[in-house]
Amino acid sequence: MAEVAAPDNPAPAVGSAPGRSCPLHYRYQPADFAVAAPAHLRSIDVLYVVGGLYGNPLALERVLEMFDRERGRKRLVFNGDFHWFDADPEVFARVQRDVLAHEALRGNVETELADPDADADAGCGCAYPDWVGDGVVERSNRILARLRTAANAAQRAALSALPMWQRADVGSLRLGIVHGDATSLAGWGFAQEHLRDAGHREQVAGWFDRADVDAFACTHTCLPVFQAIRGGQAGQPRWVLNNGATGMPNFRGDHAGLLTRVAVSPFEGDERRFGMGLAAGGVHVDAIGVEFDAGAWLRCFGQHWPPGSDAHVSYFDRIAEGPAYVPREALRDVDGEPLP
Ligand SMILES: [Fe+2]
């Protein structure tokens, strides 16, 4: 398949190789978000957005425990890539059952799993940009191929039926919920790397204008960033809320996953907030740590993906040590500078 890139997407796929390309059916428009939220996602008191669970059942268990403690009108949205390391059919089934008991969007992993054409040119569907090496891309395609063996036809059909994006209102905050960015399920326009560029932030401001939302909650790019975007009402910024990953570490030397919590009341749990807290449109927005037994998860991971396997080669260091990224880099003002 030839490379397909939206004219205003700054992170088009590189070439046409599987895992690099971005299929047309992944696309939507920022203006699509300029609609009312569905009734069940309006007037929410507490919203959890859980992106990048990556088939980690221990993180899933913790998320459900945390959500259970919340009070008021609450919703839990899994915004894609909830499957990945769960190549064991029993673990896959458990993840799918618990996730689909709540609101869910499909990420590129679920979209490619649901595709009846196992040789689809999208590979893993990640639309990896050029700073991601070929070895990572090739291993991701093989991980996806193995993951396909864990899913039965009914499970694939359920994934296929999931939407690519959603709208929600928390208090007065109008939120777009996506897996990638405002133009594509696998877009990299909300990646912390791209958001360092002032010109790109101007382009993102245009997406917000057309979408008529105050914030986008996203994931997919594997590193967290809460980025202020110029141009909101009454001088208030809009926000990109990228939680990084719930099922993998997000910062060097720290094993916690992250979820995005948007609520009309402050977070009262004991879990850490990683300095990524802000007030937007009268609501509280935080990246909350998802703390699970890291040793148990490493053992579980190693059982299914032993040394030398594709997932072990690509992800073991990240899971064991965390990425080369620190919390101070993850909360940024409209000029891209760290917020105190
Ligand atoms: Fe993704």
Condensed to tens digits (0 to 9), the pLDDT of residues 154-211 reads 999 999 999 999 999 999 999 999 999 999 999 999 999 999 999 999 999 999 999 9
> pLDDT 10s digit of each residue in the chain, 340 long?
222 222 233 343 434 566 666 677 889 999 999 999 999 999 999 999 999 999 999 999 999 999 999 999 999 999 999 999 999 999 999 999 999 999 999 999 999 999 866 555 567 666 777 777 888 889 999 999 999 999 999 999 999 999 999 999 999 999 999 999 999 999 999 999 999 999 999 999 999 999 999 999 999 999 999 999 999 888 889 999 999 999 999 999 999 999 999 999 999 999 998 877 888 778 999 999 999 999 999 999 999 999 999 999 999 999 999 999 999 999 999 999 999 8
Q: Are 259 and 246 contacting, i.e. CB atoms less than 8 angstroms apart?
A: yes
Strand duo 74-79 + 103-105: pairing: parallel
pLDDT 10s digits, 36-45: 999 999 999 9
Measured in Å, residue 69 CA sits from the centre of ligand 1 at 28
Measured in Å, residue 127 CA sits from the centre of ligand 1 at 9
Measured in Å, residue 159 CA sits from the centre of ligand 1 at 14
Which pTM value belongs to this model?
A: 0.92
Measured in Å, residue 304 CA sits from the centre of ligand 1 at 21
Q: Helices 89-100 and 153-160 sit at what angle, rounded to 10 degrees?
A: 30
Measured in Å, residue 233 CA sits from the centre of ligand 1 at 31
Measured in Å, residue 108 CA sits from the centre of ligand 1 at 5
Interatomic CA distance for residues 249 and 335, integer angstroms: 27
Measured in Å, residue 340 CA sits from the centre of ligand 1 at 29
CA–CA distance from 104 to each of 27, 62, 93, 100 (Å)? 18, 17, 15, 6
Any idea which residue has 């399920």 for tokens?
A: 185
Measured in Å, residue 109 CA sits from the centre of ligand 1 at 6
Which residue blocks in the chain are alpha helix, DSSP H? 57-69, 89-100, 108-114, 134-148, 153-160, 198-211, 294-304, 310-321
- The half-sphere exposure of 183 on its side-chain side, counting CA atoms within 13 A, is 23
Q: Which residues have their alpha-adjacent CB atom under 5 A from ion ligand 1? A: 81, 107-108, 220
Measured in Å, residue 198 CA sits from the centre of ligand 1 at 24
Measured in Å, residue 4 CA sits from the centre of ligand 1 at 17
